[in-house]
Amino acid sequence: MLRCWCMALVALDRASIDGADAVTELLTLPLQEYVSLFDRPTHEGKGRMPLHVTEYYGKVLMGDPPQEFGLVFDTGSGNIVLPTIKCGDEACEDHHRFSSSASHSAIQVALEDGTVLAPGDERDTTTITYGTGKLTGEYIRDRMCLRSDQANDRIVRPGDMCIQVDFLGVTQESRFPFSELPFDGIFGLGLGGLSAGPSFNFVSRLVASNESVVRKPVFAFFLRNLNADEDSEITFGGYKPDRVTGGDSGLTWLPVPKDEADEKGYWIVTMRDIYVRGVPLGICNDSNSHPRCQVAMDTGTALMMGPRHSVNQLLRAVGGCSQPIPSIRFELDAVGGGTFSLVLDQEDFAEVQGTDCAFAFQPVDLPPNLGSMWVLGQTALRKYYSVYDAERWQVGIGLARHTETSRESALSQFQSSQSMQTTHALEVCEDDNNNMVWSHLPGCKRFFRLLHALLTLSA
């Protein structure tokens, strides 16, 4: 996309950035939604049924003068990823691209350890492979700013949050699935194990800032009920009690095993068991005297995920699609030895059409280093407000306070397959499972099934 810069605006932007160093008490960033359909087999195996998949993204300013990007805020990713002007692929050209030469504060980074690139030195690159494609990038350091004021300008104002970050600047990107997405990149809010190197982890940067950026290294997510007339948001520096039913007293804190969570890269809490119709399933039973399951809190994953045998056991306990479908209770460990009951009702995890239905639970085979881990995705995190505290290593969770006023959900539409074939050079969608990282992006078969479902609905 073309960007027009005038000298007066550049001068104003630089002056604003130079004066935006005050500590931010609490900053709330509104998030936009990209809603699509995820095509999957029904529970009874009679056909296929679409489930809603949502990505939450917001505006970010990078560099001096600021360049604006739309990034997905994702606790299941560990890096900030932006397309750069060096990338001439269609997927990059369809989005905003970062220009290092246009930023007075950009620093080229040679290695994953944050070593600055010296003249004549070679630089490392990294490649991330997803189910439907891959991207390759180099390392860059620059100043990033977040602001609660979402005016259509690139001016950094007092009260905005600015911090120096290392990020992956994309130089090559496959068309699938990136060209179809309205946002430009990813804002990883996961922990160290998911990052390219220590300096690339935003949460670590926030902790190391020692209250010079925000008062507390804490952030919180409010994800809109898809049927409610409200907006999603992320808050930095703390959380908003008015987003929780019962306020502060409605929030329960869950301990995070710091070393193990940081090594695996996920905000991990622990679960004692899962209950259906009040009956414990013994999901976490093992030889330990205090059996526990690990659970990752992942705002970037649409569905609930778990080990294949455990998810199958859970779905057998839930039974078929006959009404009423029972609630599911996840019993989580709380700070101080107590527990928190996270309850999902039929409307939270099931979509029903006649006598058939589809459940928002996905069996997954995770890499060996992650073990038998469960993932709480948007299915749960829309119903519950979640707070991520990197100072005390805990996650706060409480029933979100949603408005009762309804608003129709805007379903994103893909371009028609005929248009794609006539306007784009042929590119094969090919899964690279051997190199694939665990991701919520769909594989090739699911991508085209999803596309077919959307085209059928829009016909």
- Minimum mean pLDDT among 13-27, 43-57, 192-206, 308-322: which range? 13-27
231 vs 418: CA distance, rounded Å: 34
CB contact burial 343-381 (16+ within 10 A = b; e otherwise): ebebebbbbbeeebbbbbbbebebeeebeebbbbbbbbb
Is residue 377 scored above 60 in pLDDT? Answer: yes
How do residues 18-54 score in pLDDT, each as one tens digit? Answer: 445 567 789 999 999 998 776 778 887 778 887 777 8
Coil, helix or strand at residue 241: helix
Look up 149 and say whether it is catalytic: no
How do residues 117-128 score in pLDDT, each as one tens digit? Answer: 988 888 888 888
Q: What is the predicted pLDDT for the residue at 13? A: 38
Q: What is the predicted pLDDT for the residue at 75? A: 96
When pLDDT is cut at 50, 70 and 90, the band that residue 104 belongs to is: very high
Catalytic residue among 74, 142, 160, 166: 74
Q: What is the predicted pLDDT for the residue at 297? A: 97
Mean pLDDT across 194-216: 91
Q: What is the predicted pLDDT for the residue at 95? A: 95
Look up 74 and say whether it is catalytic: yes
Please report, for residues 165, 203, 239, 390, the alpha-carbon distance to residue 191 in angstroms, rounded to integers and kept in the order given.
15, 7, 19, 9
In what helix (H) or strand (E) does residue 146 lie, and over which residues does it extend? strand 134-146
- Minimum mean pLDDT among 133-137, 361-365, 422-426: which range? 422-426
Q: Which has more confidence, 113 or 443?
A: 113
How do residues 216-247 score in pLDDT, each as one tens digit? Answer: 999 999 999 988 899 999 999 999 999 999 99
Mean pLDDT across 391-402: 97
How do residues 343-374 score in pLDDT, each as one tens digit? Answer: 999 999 998 888 888 899 999 988 888 888 99
When pLDDT is cut at 50, 70 and 90, the band that residue 147 belongs to is: confident
Q: What is the predicted pLDDT for the residue at 131? A: 54
Mean pLDDT across 188-193: 96
When pLDDT is cut at 50, 70 and 90, the band that residue 214 belongs to is: confident
Q: Which has more confidence, 177 or 318?
A: 318
Q: Which has more confidence, 144 or 434?
A: 144
Enumerate domains of the chain plus CATH numbers. 7-399 (2.40.70.10)
Catalytic residue among 13, 142, 298, 333: 298
Coil, helix or strand at residue 453: helix
Q: What is the predicted pLDDT for the residue at 410? A: 53
Q: Which has more confidence, 155 or 147?
A: 147
Q: What is the predicted pLDDT for the residue at 281? A: 96
Q: What is the predicted pLDDT for the residue at 130? A: 61
- Phi and psi angles of residue 403, each rounded to the nearest 5 degrees, phi first: -75, 155
Q: Which has more confidence, 344 or 17?
A: 344
Q: What is the predicted pLDDT for the residue at 42? A: 84
Q: What is the predicted pLDDT for the residue at 441? A: 45
When pLDDT is cut at 50, 70 and 90, the band that residue 447 belongs to is: very low
Is residue 98 scored above 70 in pLDDT? Answer: yes
Pinpoint the alpha helices (H) of 132-288: 202-208, 258-264
Mean pLDDT across 330-353: 95
Q: What average pLDDT is seen over the chain?
A: 83
CB contact burial 17-47 (16+ within 10 A = b; e otherwise): beebeeebebbbbebbbbebbbbbebbeeee
In the block, which residue shows the tokens 């397309």?
83
